[in-house]
Copies of this chain bind each other. A is one copy, B any other.
Amino acid sequence: MTKWVYSFGTDRNEGDASMRNLLGGKGCNLAEMAGLGLPVPPGFTITTEVCTHYYAHGKHYPDALRAQVEDALRAVESSMGMTFGDSENPLLVSVRSGARVSMPGMMDTVLNLGLNDETVEGLSRQAGDERFAWDSYRRFIQMYGDVVLGVDHHEFEDIIDSYKRDQDITQDTAISAEGWKEIVADYKELVERELGRPFPTDPMEQLWGAISAVFSSWMVPRAITYRKIHDIPESWGTAVNVQSMVFGNMGEDSATGVAFTRDPSTGENYFYGEYLINAQGEDVVAGIRTPQSLTLKGREKEGGDLPSMEETMPEVFQQLDAVRGKLEKHYRDIQDLEFTVQKGKLFMLQTRSGKRTAKAALKIAVDLVEEGLITQEEALLRVDPQSLDQLLHPTLDPKAERDVLTKGLPASPGAASGVAVFTADEAEARAQAGEKVVLCRQETSPEDIHGMHASAGILTSRGGMTSHAAVVARGMGKPCVAGAGELHIDVKARVIRIDGRTIKDGEIVTIDGSTGEVMAGAVPTIQPEMSGDFATLMGWADSRRRMAVRTNAETPLDAQTARDFGAEGIGLCRTEHMFFEASRIQNVREMIFATDEDERRAALHKLLPEQRADFAALFEIMKGLPITIRLLDPPLHEFLPHEEEDIESFAKTAGLDTDHVRRRLSDLHEMNPMLGHRGCRLGVTYPEIYQMQARAIFEGAFESSEKTGEAVVPEIMIPLVGTRKELQLMREAVELMAEAVFEEKGKRLDYTVGTMIELPRAALTADKIAHSADFFSFGTNDLTQTCLGMSRDDAASFLPSYVEKGIYERDPFVSIDVDGVGQLVEIACERGRQVNASLKLGICGEHGGDPASIAFCEKTGLDYVSCSPYRVPIARLAAAQAAIRKGQASVKPVSATASTKKAAVAAG
């Protein structure tokens, strides 16, 4: 016969922590604690399989359930020496839900179940406290009425309020036993009026009502939505935990509290927690009384006035501290505990893995290794790579007040306050004058780069997580809030409007790029500290990972930052960023306005020395490491002025007719620049541009290696290739230029030529393209745009609701769309390596810094990932985790489905 009910803490203890799927998180840990000999109030767990059966059979329970529940209840009675429903010494129980993963939206708790007009008297006698008994009774009716019977909890509160008004008292504590009796009577009347039948007095009826309420709550809309979003299968079901009540509110020798085995905010190894004397759990949460620190040390740290539990209940505290040690050793991780002290006796009500800050996670992981509790590999898996981001950027002081205007996308982490400015030029001017500025734009474009450089933070009202502003800001390590759609950023009027408020040019705004919040006024920030633990963990990560981690960088500053963060080369140097500097943009524009090839060559010739110097500087910083340089990629119109004022000023400087400039602008205008005349299409139509760049690379490489004595091996990358022939033509042009420079210099150097795979056609014909390529670098930003037909600059208007509706599980510009884009990456890797076994494979899209995408890259067998400088540590850790998990998967049979794994991550 199927076993539907598992006892814990009674003479039989039938579960343990390994039975999470069957007993739920709460139930399995109660059994585990009881098995460890810890003082757990006895009880039993009705399994998740009952829930599944319940829904599979038109809300009917298995036949054998009733008998098994009654049997388990008997065991609790005998263990407690009390009887359920007994008028002399009544057993009271709590009923709680408990799924595999904690799930908001479900029924939480009913306490004191088993009370009625008779048993309340028994409780009163047993406790020797009539007021306690009737207070417990009214609490029960209120909770049960609300969560089981569906009577609005406000109506109960109204009764108490009206009683207090009548009696002219303000505190619940001032209500006497008689008062609670009157209130209980009113409560029962309320329930009967609302439901048309009296409040159930039979404890067994109460119990089954509560059990059914838990199972029913599995299917309430909020729970269904939550499951959909987090991809939790309906079939998992929830368990129900029935546990004998213990009371922290039975006098001054009773208490209740919550604790963490270490400080969850810093990771420091001391007992961290709060307790309240003579209180029930809900009182701690309700915040009516100020909880007291558990330990002396905690009290000192927080400067509390009230005595710690270590002082008030030294013996019980010693027991609790021993429990703490035992649980940490047993679970090998920080635990989040709930306990109750009833008349001097300690009971453990819950233990679970403790949520912690990034900083704490890092410290705890390293400490646990040093304490010999976990291995380095386990420590690496314990830290969420994404969370490291918090450690690398300044953050807002959590204690400071905030005047939040709206919330946009958390596009680049860190916080910044500054004067609102509306143009890049103004940003630069005011920054040079010593002001901290936040650049506010509808969206940014490459023309704004200098202003972005000068700003402390960037705020846009349009664009998604991989809009220009977001990508560039992350690359620069600057805070950015993007796509704050409620803001109307009026660049002409130099004002931000929202909900009738305005922020004018020159007023201070604050943005939090980690949360997306936009605030009026200044909010103080806290600078990050890189602790020794960080370096320790990174060292372990480096020793475990297979993939190399490179960075996307083109300025010496970015390159140096990334190298400091541990980058092992440059995976993407976007040469166009070098074209925007004030000193060269005029030459770039002259090149664009050239009427023939000779004029174009002349303009390019002026750019050559600066490009060469750019490359030489990067080669020098990255000496000994590989550098992938992408030749010019964006459409030419990106380099042209667009504002009327700028057009006139450019025309004047260049000695051109303004109308002519406007005509050329209009000729170059594109409907869909993303799919336009860019990438190698520029190289095919204007070969002289790529020739100049190739020359600059080779000459720069010689210049740098003369200086450092280290050979440079440039990797030249041709963008936006869709056919082998394009790559072949460009490769020939680069090779010709290489030979020309080698002849001039009288020496040679090694270099490779490869391509970005960023078009579906390139992936699908990789078996042809790989014949002409030394390497493939997956440009997953553009590959996502083309594969999904989705512009990252325009997706903000629908992508949030797509993610909300579960059409895409996550923003596909943040985390690689494995089914679509991932399929193309796999196809390209397989077909490419088939014809060219030595093909080097990497990724240089934004996904290169996303842990889930990095796991995909490991699985697909890429050689390296490349990401923005500030994500290098994240990538190092994520790559290590992916390698460890792959190793584990290859030795152990994989039992968990993909969904299980995802949910486990969500739960962890």
Interface of A toward B, CB cutoff 8 Å: 442-443, 485, 488, 663, 666-667, 670-677, 681, 684-685, 720, 722-723, 725-726, 729, 758-761, 764-765, 768, 782, 785-791, 793-795, 797-798, 801-802, 805-808, 817, 819-821, 823-824
Most buried by B among A485, A798, A806: A798
Could you show 6 A-B contacts with beta carbons less than 8 Å apart? A671-B794, A672-B672, A684-B802, A760-B789, A768-B819, A786-B787
User: With contacts A786-B789, A788-B759 known, is A685 near B801, CB below 8 A?
Assistant: yes
A764 to chain B, nearest CB (A): 5
Instruction: Please give, as numbers and ranges, the residues of chain B lying within 8 Å of A488 by CB-CB distance.
Output: 663
**Cα of A788 to Cα of B788 in the assembled complex, Å:** 13
Interface pair A677/B798, CB less than 8 Å apart: yes
Interface pair B663/A790, CB less than 8 Å apart: no
Instruction: Please give, as numbers and ranges, the residues of chain B lying within 8 Å of A722 by CB-CB distance.
Output: 788-790, 820
Instruction: Please give, as numbers and ranges, the residues of chain B lying within 8 Å of A671 by CB-CB distance.
Output: 443, 673-674, 791, 793-794
Instruction: Please give, as numbers and ranges, the residues of chain B lying within 8 Å of A807 by CB-CB distance.
Output: 684, 723, 725-726, 729
**Cα of A806 to Cα of B789 in the assembled complex, Å:** 27
Instruction: Please give, as numbers and ranges, the residues of chain B lying within 8 Å of A791 by CB-CB distance.
Output: 670-672, 674-676
**Cα of A765 to Cα of B801 in the assembled complex, Å:** 21
Out of B666, B760, B768, B793, name the residue touching A672 (CB < 8 Å).
B793
Interface pair B760/A824, CB less than 8 Å apart: yes
Out of B672, B685, B729, B797, name the residue touching A798 (CB < 8 Å).
B685
Interface pair B675/A790, CB less than 8 Å apart: yes
What 20 new A-B contacts, CB under 8 Å, besides A729-B807, A761-B821? A485-B667, A488-B663, A671-B673, A672-B672, A672-B674, A672-B791, A674-B674, A674-B789, A676-B795, A684-B798, A684-B801, A720-B789, A729-B805, A759-B789, A760-B760, A761-B817, A764-B787, A764-B819, A764-B823, A786-B786
User: With contacts A685-B801, A794-B672 known, is A758 near B725, CB below 8 A?
Assistant: no
Instruction: Please give, as numbers and ranges, the residues of chain B lying within 8 Å of A790 by CB-CB distance.
Output: 675, 722
Instruction: Please give, as numbers and ranges, the residues of chain B lying within 8 Å of A675 by CB-CB distance.
Output: 672, 674-675, 785, 789-791, 794
**Cα of A677 to Cα of B788 in the assembled complex, Å:** 12
Instruction: Please give, as numbers and ranges, the residues of chain B lying within 8 Å of A485 by CB-CB distance.
Output: 667
Copies in the complex: 2
Instruction: Please give, as numbers and ranges, the residues of chain B lying within 8 Å of A808 by CB-CB distance.
Output: 723
Instruction: Please give, as numbers and ranges, the residues of chain B lying within 8 Å of A723 by CB-CB distance.
Output: 807-808
**Cα of A786 to Cα of B722 in the assembled complex, Å:** 11
Interface pair A805/B725, CB less than 8 Å apart: yes
Q: Which 3 A-B pairs have the closest CB atoms?
A: A761-B820, A675-B791, A672-B791
**Cα of A670 to Cα of B791 in the assembled complex, Å:** 9
Instruction: Please give, as numbers and ranges, the residues of chain B lying within 8 Å of A765 by CB-CB distance.
Output: 819-820, 823
Interface pair B824/A681, CB less than 8 Å apart: no
Interface pair A824/B673, CB less than 8 Å apart: no
A491 to chain B, nearest CB (A): 10
A457 to chain B, nearest CB (A): 22
**Cα of A407 to Cα of B805 in the assembled complex, Å:** 51
A467 closest partner in B (C-beta): B671
A620 to chain B, nearest CB (A): 35
Interface pair B674/A806, CB less than 8 Å apart: no
A671 closest partner in B (C-beta): B793
Interface pair B672/A797, CB less than 8 Å apart: no
**Cα of A805 to Cα of B725 in the assembled complex, Å:** 9
**Cα of A808 to Cα of B723 in the assembled complex, Å:** 8
Most buried by B among A442, A785, A788: A788
Interface pair A789/B805, CB less than 8 Å apart: no
A820 closest partner in B (C-beta): B761
Instruction: Please give, as numbers and ranges, the residues of chain B lying within 8 Å of A764 by CB-CB distance.
Output: 787, 819-820, 823-824
Instruction: Please give, as numbers and ranges, the residues of chain B lying within 8 Å of A681 by CB-CB distance.
Output: 798, 802
Instruction: Please give, as numbers and ranges, the residues of chain B lying within 8 Å of A795 by CB-CB distance.
Output: 676
A723 to chain B, nearest CB (A): 6
**Cα of A824 to Cα of B786 in the assembled complex, Å:** 13
A447 to chain B, nearest CB (A): 14
**Cα of A807 to Cα of B672 in the assembled complex, Å:** 22
**Cα of A723 to Cα of B758 in the assembled complex, Å:** 20
**Cα of A485 to Cα of B675 in the assembled complex, Å:** 19
**Cα of A802 to Cα of B672 in the assembled complex, Å:** 19
**Cα of A50 to Cα of B789 in the assembled complex, Å:** 53
Instruction: Please give, as numbers and ranges, the residues of chain B lying within 8 Å of A676 by CB-CB distance.
Output: 791, 794-795, 797
Instruction: Please give, as numbers and ranges, the residues of chain B lying within 8 Å of A817 by CB-CB distance.
Output: 761
**Cα of A722 to Cα of B760 in the assembled complex, Å:** 14
A475 to chain B, nearest CB (A): 19
Instruction: Please give, as numbers and ranges, the residues of chain B lying within 8 Å of A670 by CB-CB distance.
Output: 791, 793-794
**Cα of A90 to Cα of B269 in the assembled complex, Å:** 115
**Cα of A806 to Cα of B728 in the assembled complex, Å:** 12
User: With contacts A801-B685, A807-B723 known, is A760 near B785, CB below 8 A?
Assistant: no
A230 to chain B, nearest CB (A): 16
A821 to chain B, nearest CB (A): 8
Instruction: Please give, as numbers and ranges, the residues of chain B lying within 8 Å of A768 by CB-CB distance.
Output: 819
